[in-house]
Structure 1
Amino acid sequence: MLLFQLPEDVLFHILSYLDFRSLGRLSQACRAMCRFVNRDTVWRKIAKALLNTGITGNGTDIYPHIPLKDRVKIALNWREGSCKRAALLKWKTKLLPWLQLEGNVLFLAQDATIGAYHVHKDSGRLQRCPFQIYSGHSGDVCRFVLTDSYLISGGSDGKILVQSRTRNMLMMLSGHNQEVNCLDSKDVLIISGSRDRTARIWTLNSSFPRDTIPMYDRVWSVTISPSLSSFVTGTACCENFSPLRIWDVERLQCVCSLGSEFRRGAGVLDMVFESPFQLLTCGYDTFIRLWDLRLNPRKCVLEWEEPHDSALYCMQTDGSHMIASGSSYYGVVRLWDKRQTECLQFFQLSSDLVSSPVYCLRFNCSHLYAALATSLHALDFRQSPNHVR
């Protein structure tokens, strides 16, 4: 009882010296202590040091609706690779599927359509049938992105479709004459890249491209900076220049090229901004690279190599310490801690007889979803190894 006569800020300071095991045991001392220890403020310091707790590098909380103590339990499973595996969907024809995960809805591109599936809150599994289907392409959907109001997709037919997520509305953007390999959208801006060796800039109020940039190489990936002032293109690296280039949105000028020692054919397949100044990239050269865009010259400050010399098709970051990547062979998903050089955990999702790349992966606090050529897999990390009770 004397402990609770201390001011709360003093008690918080005392508890900040305890690890997660000690906090878990302390919460069992009495009901009053349990209520106090279960506050998010008590667990925030521990959560910031663990993987995928939703606390990003700038302090933003991605999952404020989930108690931090519960997220710490799950984060320990991510670190140790403790999870249940399940194949959620299977199909007979080999595809190049793409995913987006938003709240309790998973969007999956298969052939020329995109299905929206409700994710069961308790199990992480999908409803049997999609509650909404987006169609309109005459070829396979290569990439799609979500905004607050729209689903924007690029297809092998060279078309970009802008579809309302709430109403039956469709706008077609025509300009590319070969498949649209990649696209990104922020605010009213859309950037697309194509096998036709061009990158195009669009706005949501026009069906014609605002600008076209000759790239002289196939464009595999694009991403728009959070500042909206620039975007980055990743090409196939079949010409004599860096596959990574930063472009000014308004002036359409190449601001700079990133790196100078890429092997021929070492194309960049995926990239993501962690902040306006930090860019993560991966591709055929088997490396994940972190670029610091504040430096002059801008350069790679950290890199992680896929140990089996496999191309890296996709990746996602938790905005803090963790990166998940998908390899080109045997459906291998790897978890990386950016504070370490070696891979933290890996999971092989396809058999030795049927090898498939991981074409796309997405994760939230408790589940990771990976799309392979003929199946969609889920890893459920909510199993507790009894670190915190």
Structure 2
Amino acid sequence: MLFSQLPEDVLYHILSYLDYKSLSRLSQVCKITNRFVNQDVVWRKIARDFLNTGITWNGTDIYPHIPLRERVELAQNWYYGVCKRSIPLKWKIKLLPWLQLDGDILFLSQASSIGAYHLHQESRMFQRSPFEIYSGHQGDVCRFVLTVTHLISGGSDGKILVHSRRSDLPLGLSGHSQEVNCLDSKDGLIISGSRDRTARIWTLTSSFPRATIPMFDRVWSVAINPTLSSFVTGTACCENFSPLRIWDVERSACVCNLGSEFRRGAGVLDIVFESPFQLFTCGYDTFIRLWDLRLSPQKCMMKWEEPHDSTLYCIQTDGNHMIASGSSYYGVVRLWDKRQSECLQFFQLCSDPVSSPVYCLRFSSSHLYAALATALHSLDFRQNPTYIRWHPHSHTSDLSNQEKCIFF
């Protein structure tokens, strides 16, 4: 019996013992094996071990329209830092921009408005002019979040605007007495935090807050648990309170504090829920921290230190092994593998004397976008492979970006 004539379940079992390079070589044997090997089910187990393939910790696929083999190829470029850099947009004055990605649309805040840009399928770049603009604030937009039906923004004027993505007229919420530093929204629930030392709970059905929580410190970040039962606030840590606290949504009461080792001024600038029980934080203490909320008391399970002692302004994760962080100096973006303690790759997007923090970053399967004070930067990881001889014990830092990769 020929190899290709074996029953499919036997073939799947055999292929489960092969690594990605062996599978790639096998796909070149003939058309029949090529069609069989290129199926997603063959690559799914392998894809879980790579960075940014779209397979999350619980097995969910967030990029189902992209073949898994293609994503594994891209993962090599992410791991070895092989990318093409560009600056799609620049502006003349220094801003504090914010980003969101929604499929093939990128939303970018500039001063008092938010522009929506189409990303082209091939180049993943976008036109210079937005196809839609959301406005209404009297000051700069500080933060905004996207839902399926709405864009919700908070500004330096203390207002919160709810823009319907299907109509032109925004709904104004009562807002705060000072600038709204942070926002999060899920399934009609909105949490806002402000410099006025309060956090507020809102719903889309009312223009008045359901509850106002005195925080006794400036609120820099908020995040709603995917279960919608609780949310987390990150404060400036200038008072005698833990900067990280978990709050019950229904009772508006503090459930617990996270950590006790924060020094004064170690404010938390970004919070990301990766699952209902896993939480990532970063801020002025230069650490990325992973918290496990299933433990009692909740503990920091792992932490990664920014090697140049820079404040970390923002973080994003791929839901599996990769973390991307933005630092406060020279627009440095770092890629981390959770399974390693050291930084995997770093990209310096600006230089002295044009130093700027990375205020926000977002990534897709193939691109990373970073918003700095005067420009939007793009890293394109869809580079053509360079075939080189590579020894597993060689020092990759001596190679150029185009040479730091093992390809099929």
Q: TM-score range by the shorter chain?
A: over 0.9
Alpha-carbon distance, 1:123 to partner: 1.0
Aligned partner of 1:343 in structure 2 is: 343
Aligned partner of 2:13 in structure 1 is: 13
Aligned partner of 2:275 in structure 1 is: 275
CA distance in 2, matches of 1:190, 1:354: 36
Letter in 2 for 1:18: L
Aligned partner of 1:116 in structure 2 is: 116
Q: TM-score, normalised by structure 1?
A: 0.99
What secondary structure does 2:266 align onto?
A: coil
Aligned partner of 1:157 in structure 2 is: 157
Aligned partner of 1:134 in structure 2 is: 134
Aligned partner of 1:31 in structure 2 is: 31
| 1:311 and 2:311 correspond | yes
Aligned partner of 2:47 in structure 1 is: 47
Asked if the contact 2:89/2:128 (under 8 Å) is kept, the reply is: no
Asked if the contact 1:332/1:348 (under 8 Å) is kept, the reply is: yes
Letter in 1 for 2:247: W
Aligned partner of 2:323 in structure 1 is: 323
Query: For 1:239-258, what per-residue CA distance to the aligned partner results, in whole angstroms no more than 9, with x for missing partners?
Result: 01110000000111100000
Aligned partner of 1:354 in structure 2 is: 354
Letter in 1 for 2:70: D
Q: How do 1:102-113 and structure 2 match up within 5 A?
A: 102-113=102-113
CA distance in 1, matches of 2:344, 2:126: 28
Aligned partner of 2:264 in structure 1 is: 264
CA distance in 2, matches of 1:10, 1:79: 32
**Alpha-carbon spacing, 1:27–1:388, altered in 2? closer, same or farther (3 Å):** farther
Aligned partner of 1:145 in structure 2 is: 145
Aligned partner of 1:254 in structure 2 is: 254
Alpha-carbon distance, 1:384 to partner: 3.5
Aligned partner of 1:381 in structure 2 is: 381
Alpha-carbon distance, 1:259 to partner: 0.3
Aligned partner of 1:198 in structure 2 is: 198
Letter in 1 for 2:100: Q
Aligned partner of 2:399 in structure 1 is: none
Alpha-carbon distance, 1:127 to partner: 1.4
Unmatched tracts of structure 1, length 5 or more? none
Asked if the contact 1:315/1:323 (under 8 Å) is kept, the reply is: yes
CA distance in 2, matches of 1:283, 1:351: 22
17-26 or 241-250: bigger deviation? 17-26
How many residues in Structure 1 have an aligned counterpart in Structure 2?
389
What secondary structure does 1:87 align onto?
A: strand
Alpha-carbon distance, 1:260 to partner: 0.4
Unmatched tracts of structure 2, length 5 or more? 388-405
Query: For 1:12-58, what per-residue CA distance to the aligned partner results, in whole angstroms no more than 9, with x for missing partners?
Result: 11111211111111111100010001000111111000000000000
Alpha-carbon distance, 1:353 to partner: 2.0
Aligned partner of 2:368 in structure 1 is: 368
CA distance in 2, matches of 1:388, 1:340: 22
What secondary structure does 1:94 align onto?
A: coil
CA distance in 1, matches of 2:11, 2:277: 37
RMSD between aligned residues: 0.9
Alpha-carbon distance, 1:329 to partner: 0.2
Letter in 1 for 2:224: I
CA distance in 2, matches of 1:383, 1:14: 31
CA distance in 1, matches of 2:120, 2:128: 11
Letter in 2 for 1:205: T
CA distance in 1, matches of 2:168, 2:241: 43
CA distance in 1, matches of 2:127, 2:120: 7
Alpha-carbon distance, 1:229 to partner: 0.4
CA distance in 1, matches of 2:133, 2:5: 59
What secondary structure does 2:48 align onto?
A: helix
Aligned partner of 2:91 in structure 1 is: 91
Letter in 1 for 2:341: T
Alpha-carbon distance, 1:261 to partner: 1.1
Percent identity of paired positions between Structure 1 and Structure 2: 77
161-170 or 212-221: bigger deviation? 161-170
CA distance in 2, matches of 1:58, 1:127: 36
Query: For 1:293-317, what per-residue CA distance to the aligned partner results, in whole angstroms no more than 9, with x for missing partners?
Result: 0001101000000000000000100
CA distance in 1, matches of 2:352, 2:333: 15
Aligned partner of 1:171 in structure 2 is: 171
Letter in 2 for 1:332: V
CA distance in 1, matches of 2:236, 2:257: 14
Q: TM-score, normalised by structure 2?
A: 0.94
Alpha-carbon distance, 1:169 to partner: 2.5
CA distance in 1, matches of 2:268, 2:407: 41
CA distance in 1, matches of 2:26, 2:118: 38
Alpha-carbon distance, 1:388 to partner: 4.8
Query: For 1:103-125, what per-residue CA distance to the aligned partner results, in whole angstroms no more than 9, with x for missing partners?
Result: 00000000000000001111111
Asked if the contact 2:76/2:407 (under 8 Å) is kept, the reply is: no
Aligned partner of 2:66 in structure 1 is: 66
What secondary structure does 1:69 align onto?
A: helix
Query: For 1:212-269, what per-residue CA distance to the aligned partner results, in whole angstroms no more than 9, with x for missing partners?
Result: 0000000000000000000000000000111000000011110000000101110000
Letter in 2 for 1:73: E
CA distance in 1, matches of 2:340, 2:380: 24
